[in-house]
Structure 1
Amino acid sequence: MPQRIASLNICIDQLLWELVDRQRLVSISYLTANPMWSPIAGQVKGVPLNHGLAEEIVPLKPDVIFAGEFDQRSPIELLQKLGKRVERLPLPRTLKDINDQILQLADMVGEREKAEQMVKKINTQIAELQRANTGKTPLTAFWYSANGVVIGDGTLEHEFMQLAGLRNLAAERGMFGFNQLDLELLLSAKPHILIVEEGSDDAYSLAREYLAHPALRNADFKIVTLPAGLSGCAATVIGDVATQLKNSLAK
């Protein structure tokens, strides 16, 4: 079991924070200490931070270094050339991927029991979301993001909408992934529900002007606001998102 663990990835940081004792974390991403990006920023004070550079990591003598699928290649390759154990985890794209990643990471750090408890809780929350909407007439919805982007098929958000018994109007229009949609077209589709994620108004003031548009505030649909992070660090927020979506649709 590795006792000295380093992570170059904000999402992996958050999972490790749930799984391992604090003293085993010799370094985490600097982004994890920034409240603009991280829900655990206030908890990680005192943990050494890194910017994904090999020269920051090597002196710490970690037993294992975790990185994400899209983290910078050159520092990772340098760490590997120096004989360091680097484990790269893929970005989870489905609910099953999330469960698999939690268990995979836990096996690597020797914390299987904690991970199984996490997965069990997530699956319970997902099942409650699905059960709450079984048999109801499907409502139409858009999952709406900053800069006028709607989220279509092939995404975790689309999977969530299906579990919640919602018809994803973006997917029904043949949209895959993330697509811009004019506000006029969104309004003319007359969705029952508009789903938005919480975000930092300071960080996204211009991008989020779309979400504050008077036409949206005054439109004849229900706006459901969910915890931020599903598109980024899904594994750590997925249960809360499921519960909030269930509660919001029940009102």
Structure 2
Amino acid sequence: MLPLAAVPAAAQAPQRVVTLNLCLDQMALRLAAPDQLVGVSYLSQDPRLSVLADRAAALPPVRDSVESILILRPDLVILGQGSHGRLKRLLRDAGVRVLELPWATSIGEAETVIEQMAAALGREDVGRNLIAGMREQRRLLTWTGAPRGTAVYLEANRGTSGKGSLMDELLRLSGYRNLAADLGIGSFGRVSLETVLAGRPDLLVLDGTANDNPARATEFVGHHALLALAGQSKLASVPTKYSICAGPDNFETMRRLAEAGR
């Protein structure tokens, strides 16, 4: 694949773009010109995962098959680096330009990906405005007072986000120390309820809607021990869709953390 700078100018403003990654979909839905985006991954139409599900629903959903992509006659397909190797080869063999972008694990990395995508779409001004808005939101929402205490993020199957994760960054920016990081847990790991109880966090962060359809993976939301701790700790309900991808939606997470900390 040619580096972006080496692509002819006419190719830098594609007319029919497909994205095949939930997080890249969210960026493209914000950056693309009207009618420029002609397909997004089916995950973007799931309101539990996608903040822009209503907007994505107006576009054809794309799955991991070359047929579902080529039928849309794209002149650019944007995918994540390190994934869909065979699919990328088939698309290139079919003469379709492919742009691979990295997975962003922080707000700063998200800004870089937005800049790269905006350039590929010929929408540099829109990208700059989006990044400027993100920086202003970060400035306004970053906690500058005394530390607020310890927080822990809990998700399905006892999952948590530790050091180096996006949630770790959002907690730190919001004035909290991440209990999972203190326990030596990496970006994604597991933590028992007993460990959470022993850590006595000042703030519990979870998706309060996770157990709307009860399942063993999400039963922790209503666990009696956790409910008892919630009587001593503050609680922030943060739907997964606001932190599953690095980008503009993260500031809703920070707003909810701030509200819970008051």
TM-score (norm 1): 0.89
1:210/1:89 CA distance change after superposition, 3 Å:
same
Residue type of the alignment partner of 1:144: L
1:55/1:200 CA distance change after superposition, 3 Å:
same
1:216/1:140 CA distance change after superposition, 3 Å:
same
Q: 1:125 aligns with which of 134, 137, 153?
A: 137
Query: 2: CA distance between counterparts of 1:234 and 1:197?
Result: 17
Structure 1 residue 69 displacement after superposition: 2.9
CA RMSD of aligned residues (A): 2.1
Percent identity between the two aligned chains: 29
Structure 1 segment 1-251 matched on structure 2, within 5 A: 1-69=13-81, 71-130=83-142, 133-197=143-207, 199-201=209-211, 205-219=215-229, 220-249=232-261, 251=262
Structure 1 residue 203 displacement after superposition: 6.3
Structure 1 residue 41 displacement after superposition: 2.5
Structure 1 residue 59 displacement after superposition: 3.4
Structure 1 residue 204 displacement after superposition: 6.8
Query: 2: CA distance between counterparts of 1:59 and 1:69?
Result: 23
Deviations 1:33-76 (A, max 9, x none): 23343232223344222212112222332121011235422212
Conserved? CA contact 1:227–1:237, under 8 Å: no
Residue type of the alignment partner of 1:98: A
Query: 2: CA distance between counterparts of 1:113 and 1:232?
Result: 26
Structure 1 residue 227 displacement after superposition: 3.5
Deviations 1:140-179 (A, max 9, x none): 1112222112221111111122212211122122221222
Structure 1 residue 96 displacement after superposition: 0.9
1:93/1:37 CA distance change after superposition, 3 Å:
closer
Query: 2: CA distance between counterparts of 1:37 and 1:137?
Result: 31
- Secondary structure of the corresponding residue to residue 152 of structure 2: strand
Conserved? CA contact 1:227–1:240, under 8 Å: no
Q: Which runs of 5+ in 2 are unaligned?
A: 1-12
Query: 1: CA distance between counterparts of 2:248 and 2:208?
Result: 15
Conserved? CA contact 1:143–1:194, under 8 Å: yes
Structure 1 residue 120 displacement after superposition: 1.7
- Secondary structure of the corresponding residue to residue 194 of structure 1: strand
Query: 2: CA distance between counterparts of 1:71 and 1:188?
Result: 39
Conserved? CA contact 2:49–2:244, under 8 Å: no
Pairs aligned (count): 248
Conserved? CA contact 2:118–2:127, under 8 Å: yes
Deviations 1:76-103 (A, max 9, x none): 2211122211111111012210111111
- Secondary structure of the corresponding residue to residue 57 of structure 1: helix
TM-score (norm 2): 0.86
Deviations 1:81-128 (A, max 9, x none): 222111111110122101111111111101122222221222222222
Query: 1: CA distance between counterparts of 2:209 and 2:102?
Result: 24
Query: 2: CA distance between counterparts of 1:108 and 1:198?
Result: 38
